[in-house]
Homo-oligomer: A and B are copies of this chain.
Amino acid sequence: MNAIKLWERYRRYLCIAEGAGLTLDISRMHFDDDYFESMNEVIQRAYEAMDALEKGAIANPDEQRMVGHYWLRSPKLAPSKEIADEIASNISAVKTFAADVHAGRVAPPGAARFTHILLIGIGGSALGPMFVSDALSDPAGDKMGFHLIDNTDPDGAARVFRALAGHLAQTLCVVISKSGSTPEPRNGLALASAAFRAAGLDFARQAVAVTSAGSQLDRQAESQRWIKRFPMWDWVGGRTSEMSAVGLLPAALQGFDIDAMLAGAADCDEVTRNRNTLQNPAALLALMWYSTTKGRGGKAMILLPYKDRLLLLGRYLQQLVMESLGKRYDLAGRRVDQGITVYGNKGSTDQHAYVQQLRDGLNNFFVTFVRVLESGGNSLEVEPKITAGDYLHGFLLGTREALYANERESMTLTIRRVDARAVGVLIALFERAVGFYATLIGINAYNQPGVEAGKKAAAAVLSLQHQVVSALSSTPQSAEQIAAAIAAPDRVECIYALLEHLAANGRAAMSDGPGPDVAMFTKVPNT
């Protein structure tokens, strides 16, 4: 397509969503001019489904749940006054609590003020807070430092405690777990309690919980009289919980403007309710995903924000998109093995990593550029009349052109600056695009059966580990012998792996190894 035709295409399809402060350019995606007409019926169905969802339909049929994350920023839309009141009172409670912490009215026993947050959570309870913290943090202005345990790695946790050494007495632990029984945050909580105890501190006096009422975590926090408990609701999924206490509490504690974040999300929700598809950036995203992946995930979505503050956007969306869309069955029960792969860090940095492959290699992706108009920082001229920010912007435009010239597809989202409002806009935009796309491909975007299955698989391994430990004795045995002894011959490989792990951690002794054909294992005295 020649440059003039392309300019016409750009103008024709440019979606200027003034209410949300964003524009979306889809001109470099490969679709025909009759595409929107041909997709009109199905996208109208997606609008209908979204409308029903927003009104309180059971949009997550497998779990028989409503899907209410849009209410979090517009409580008046909630299907009952009770829910609306809960949302509003929670926002108010978060703000009051953060103000109390900042003013020292809520303070730790051994210090005047809490100065650091230690968030313990995983998945939906960590990625949103991480992304928002990295996007909005200002080391010179944040009201509290932000630290995170998002795994069950004792070495990783120990490193976090060492980073907090000297500050533990001023650290507020925010333990986030919707179910209250997910092993990673439960274990993180156990390790944190131990670290506090070792430092002579009373963990309960420095901890708040964000969890479902009545959960294991909720009961523990109540019985140990933690500082406060904030709710999670069964109508908010983990990966869409950033505007609930999960995201609002850490954000408010760091001093970010959560009202602006909520307003940005609400405004983006408003513009993405527009049933005139060419004016609806979320519908356009969903339709572009559908067009380029053929509705089957045939291409990967690469996020390339040209802005350091948006480094974690790709990782945040990796969860939102892949956990929502990566499904085996459609709503009619047919096997579909759906999904869209998502990755990406930031430009121009990634131009010096994998963009070589994007330009010249496999054509198995489409790029979503995020362009931020205000450069910020020092406007020093690095050469006559050219700033560092001009370079950043020039790299984006140059790469976009080069990809197009090589027949690689891209879209460009433009925002003015990265602030709390824009973060709310971006989250809401992709939440709704995922919801629309789920209707286009006919899947439930709001369950995650594989995550539950993963927990069960690990539980089975740990149960086997108990048996393996019991079967160890002072007589050297091979993995096969132990498998026979516990009547689990078909689990011998897992048993060998467990024995290696136990031996490396001083809980079994290995001789004649390494290697599954020769290694023999014995009990370690006093274990």
Interface residues of A (CB under 8 A from B): 2-4, 6-7, 10-11, 14, 16, 18, 23, 122-124, 126-127, 137-140, 150-159, 162-163, 165, 182-184, 186-188, 190-191, 194-195, 238, 296-297, 300, 306-309, 315, 318-319, 322-323, 325-328, 337-343, 345-349, 351-365, 371, 373-380, 382, 385-395, 397-399, 401-402, 414, 416, 418, 448-451, 453-454, 456-462, 465-466, 469, 489-494, 497-498, 500-501, 504-505, 514-517
Contacts and interface: CB of A to CB of B under 8 A. Distances in A.
Contacts of A353: 123, 127, 315, 318-319, 322-323
Contacts of A346: 151
Contacts of A152: 348, 388-389, 391-392, 395
Given A353-B123, A377-B158, A493 B457 contact: no
A359 B190 contact: no
A308 B155 contact: yes
Nearest to A156: B308
A3 B493 contact: yes
Given A18-B514, A373-B500, A374-B504, A151 B392 contact: yes
A356 B401 contact: no
22 contacts: A7-B492, A10-B516, A127-B353, A138-B159, A138-B162, A150-B349, A152-B348, A153-B308, A153-B376, A154-B379, A157-B378, A159-B308, A191-B377, A322-B357, A326-B361, A338-B362, A359-B453, A386-B465, A391-B458, A397-B457, A398-B459, A402-B457
A150 B348 CA distance: 9
A497 B154 CA distance: 49
Contact of A326 (B2, B165, B360, B399): B360
A492 B6 CA distance: 10
A49 B87 CA distance: 65
B450 A356 contact: yes
A462 B383 CA distance: 11
- Count the copies: 2
Contact of A16 (B139, B153, B328, B514): B514
Contact of A516 (B14, B364, B373): B14
A255 B448 CA distance: 43
Given A318-B354, A379-B505, 6 more contacts: A139-B163, A154-B375, A194-B380, A297-B361, A387-B505, A394-B458
Q: Which of A18, A349, A360 has the most CB of B within 10 A?
A: A360
A154 B387 CA distance: 8
Contacts of A371: 497
Nearest to A343: B343
A297 B389 contact: no
A393 B514 contact: no
Most chain B beta carbons < 10 A, residue from A2, A183, A195, A345:
A183
Contacts of A457: 397-399, 401-402
Nearest to A457: B398
Contact of A397 (B182, B340, B377, B494): B494
